[in-house]
Chain A
């Protein structure tokens, strides 16, 4: 009996037993869809989180006032700590320490910004020109804060994307004068839309020169100093140097250095945990897929047993019977697998359309695993009755027992 003949026989069986074939096909493909889409969501989630931190830039050290702050770089204190960090500290750090390529003093406060009738309460970020590179901020139109105005600070403002849209609608904000608190400020730039980054809502914020920000908030200190290190510099050594220098200036260690590496360290442990959860989800969906395929296939076992009995009585060898059933089960499993892969991938693509910020993509290992699983389970249960043919009482089998 040639392979072609087996294929014809199996194909005929599949086409004629439409309900059974359709059920098996659905069973296999639902399992595959589950695995393909769930693992894609998981992978996308992990990548989303990882990207958030990657976008923070290469080697950044954050200096915060106060000794006791140990919580990563997420919260920006609102001042009030004596013997604070100053703009002067920032300038000295940049000048004296070689591995620091850029030091950006930052002051943060909240105030209302208004233009004409429209008004909004927003975070006011006082910073210097260096922040644009440090935070990888891009200007959609106009300019970012001007260089070299650390001490004086003009009355200029750069608007985040959302702020610009809400205050000005479609109009061009460049050159317009807005009010922040009691101050009149000229808009010199608008940022590209960015989204949330590590708790800092760039789109909702406005950026002004740091000295202006401190005057506005009536403060003499900054909230943070962000240091960008040379790519080859060792963060540990740089932090050591920063400490020595600042202790020398402040007479005590009244500040905290947070290196991005440390932040990343704790984050990667979170990511590992998420990854583990994804593997768990994948394992469960694989198991569900396997059980689904199994059930559908088992339903047809008794039906097929009688066919095995008949083929045996007609003189088919064990190999021929196995061959026919194998071809049939393999055809079904492969078709179901491909269908599931197609639909699952389609689902993932639709998801990506709806939520473009999470780049979901099924990992290759999941595809390979689920294909093997569906093939394996499908073939195993498709061939089972033929496999048992030797132990089969043909008479009982013919009666469908």
Chain B
């Protein structure tokens, strides 16, 4: 379970203080599929970074499975990212000089997994995303959809319970995007918690719940199947404001 309480993130820009998050409260149950929507600059990515332990809140608390991770040391946070969280990025972020297999092995190198076991697990992860035949290829020899599937294999290879995806289909066409979303849905059905930041109502619709952020606050919570299009979502919010 993920719980954030009165979460603030403030950036100092010279004399000015910029509030990216202003008191966010939210609970995400294990196995939830949550989408976070909102216009640019609304604080979506900041929230995702804090949930992913890449960034620390300026104020407030963040409990991951009951543990207050906001107070953890750098190394402990790295371990949380390594074992309990998998990241999926819009632009994939595969290491270009490494093969697909080596990219998937990467987190296990930091986790100190024995080389033989590492290889075995990386191969299994590639099989599960349907890319066993591309294991020896470098990222520039893979299509966008294939790259994202390698990235997903990398994100899941350490067996994290929480997957965080930042616009996972933002750089893909609709057909390959759908394949990637199907893959994520499958991972969710297997019991992982999935949090997706997106602009795309089609992506958000697949979620159980949608959080709408605006100016650093959650202004709406709707069920995924209530999302029709972005315009209506924000229009309603504007009216109610």
Known contacts A1-B109, A312-B54, A394-B55; A318/B78 CB under 8 A: yes
Return the contact of B112 from the options A1, A319, A394, A395 (Cβ within 8 A): A1
Return the contact of B106 from the options A306, A314, A317 (Cβ within 8 A): A314
- Cα of A287 to Cα of B25 in the assembled complex, Å: 55
- Cα of A320 to Cα of B166 in the assembled complex, Å: 25
Instruction: Decide: A314 and B55 in contact? CB cutoff 8 A.
Output: no
Return the contact of B74 from the options A5, A15, A17, A318 (Cβ within 8 A): A318
Residues in A with CB closer than 8 Å to B6 are none
Instruction: Decide: B49 and A315 in contact? CB cutoff 8 A.
Output: no
Q: Chain A interface: which of B35-43, B82-90, B169-177?
A: B82-90
B111 within 8 A of A: yes
Query: What class of interface size applies to chain B in its complex with A?
Result: 20 to 34
CB within 8 Å of B: which A1-58 residues: 1, 5, 9, 12-13, 15-17
- Cα of A307 to Cα of B106 in the assembled complex, Å: 12
CB within 8 Å of A: which B151-204 residues: 154, 158, 166
- Cα of A306 to Cα of B93 in the assembled complex, Å: 9
A328 CB to nearest B CB, Å? 12
B17 within 8 A of A: no
- Cα of A395 to Cα of B91 in the assembled complex, Å: 11
Instruction: Decide: A314 and B45 in contact? CB cutoff 8 A.
Output: no
Residues in B with CB closer than 8 Å to A16 are 96-97
Residues in A with CB closer than 8 Å to B93 are 306, 310, 313, 398
Instruction: Decide: B78 and A315 in contact? CB cutoff 8 A.
Output: yes
B107 within 8 A of A: yes
A279 within 8 A of B: no
Instruction: Decide: A315 and B74 in contact? CB cutoff 8 A.
Output: no
Residues in B with CB closer than 8 Å to A319 are 75
The residue of chain B having its C-beta at the shortest distance from the C-beta of A2 within the complex is B112
B52 within 8 A of A: yes
- Cα of A9 to Cα of B108 in the assembled complex, Å: 13
- Cα of A271 to Cα of B112 in the assembled complex, Å: 61
Instruction: Decide: B95 and A310 in contact? CB cutoff 8 A.
Output: yes
Return the contact of B89 from the options A1, A9, A398 (Cβ within 8 A): A398
B98 within 8 A of A: yes
A-facing mask of B97-128, CB < 8 A → 1, else 0?
A: 11000000011011110000000000000000
- Cα of A398 to Cα of B79 in the assembled complex, Å: 20
- Cα of A5 to Cα of B78 in the assembled complex, Å: 18
Quick one: which of B98, B110, B112 has the most chain A CB within 10 A?
B110
Query: What class of interface size applies to chain A in its complex with B?
Result: 20 to 34
A2 CB to nearest B CB, Å? 8
Instruction: Decide: B54 and A313 in contact? CB cutoff 8 A.
Output: yes
Return the contact of B158 from the options A1, A315, A320, A395 (Cβ within 8 A): A315
- Cα of A395 to Cα of B80 in the assembled complex, Å: 18
B214 within 8 A of A: no
Instruction: Decide: B89 and A315 in contact? CB cutoff 8 A.
Output: no
B-facing mask of A294-314, CB < 8 A → 1, else 0?
A: 000000000000110011111
Instruction: Decide: A320 and B110 in contact? CB cutoff 8 A.
Output: yes
Instruction: Decide: A318 and B109 in contact? CB cutoff 8 A.
Output: no
B81 within 8 A of A: yes
Instruction: Decide: A314 and B87 in contact? CB cutoff 8 A.
Output: yes
B129 CB to nearest A CB, Å? 17
A390 within 8 A of B: yes
A243 CB to nearest B CB, Å? 82
A261 within 8 A of B: no
Residues in B with CB closer than 8 Å to A276 are none
A316 within 8 A of B: yes
B9 CB to nearest A CB, Å? 11
A151 within 8 A of B: no
A149 within 8 A of B: no
Known contacts A315-B82, A315-B158, A318-B78; A395/B107 CB under 8 A: no
Instruction: Decide: B97 and A315 in contact? CB cutoff 8 A.
Output: no
Instruction: Decide: B97 and A17 in contact? CB cutoff 8 A.
Output: yes
Instruction: Decide: A9 and B109 in contact? CB cutoff 8 A.
Output: yes
A393 within 8 A of B: yes
Residues in B with CB closer than 8 Å to A312 are 54, 78, 81
Residues in A with CB closer than 8 Å to B166 are 395
Instruction: Decide: A313 and B52 in contact? CB cutoff 8 A.
Output: yes
Residues in B with CB closer than 8 Å to A317 are 74-75, 78-79, 110
Residues in B with CB closer than 8 Å to A1 are 109-110, 112
Instruction: Decide: A394 and B54 in contact? CB cutoff 8 A.
Output: yes
- Cα of A12 to Cα of B112 in the assembled complex, Å: 18
Residues in B with CB closer than 8 Å to A393 are 55
Instruction: Decide: A314 and B75 in contact? CB cutoff 8 A.
Output: no
A167 CB to nearest B CB, Å? 73
- Cα of A312 to Cα of B166 in the assembled complex, Å: 16
Residues in B with CB closer than 8 Å to A390 are 74
B147 CB to nearest A CB, Å? 14
Instruction: Decide: B97 and A318 in contact? CB cutoff 8 A.
Output: no
- Cα of A279 to Cα of B116 in the assembled complex, Å: 56
- Cα of A310 to Cα of B85 in the assembled complex, Å: 13
Instruction: Decide: B54 and A314 in contact? CB cutoff 8 A.
Output: no
B82 CB to nearest A CB, Å? 3
- Cα of A395 to Cα of B89 in the assembled complex, Å: 10
Known contacts A13-B97, A398-B89; A311/B55 CB under 8 A: no
The residue of chain A having its C-beta at the shortest distance from the C-beta of B98 within the complex is A12
Some 26 contacts from A to B, beta carbons below 8 A apart, are A1-B109, A1-B110, A12-B97, A13-B97, A15-B97, A310-B95, A311-B106, A311-B110, A312-B54, A313-B93, A314-B106, A314-B107, A315-B79, A315-B80, A315-B107, A316-B82, A317-B74, A317-B110, A319-B75, A390-B74, A393-B55, A394-B54, A394-B55, A395-B45, A395-B49, A398-B91
Closest 10 CB pairs of A and B: A315-B82, A16-B97, A315-B81, A317-B78, A316-B110, A394-B54, A314-B107, A313-B87, A317-B75, A310-B93
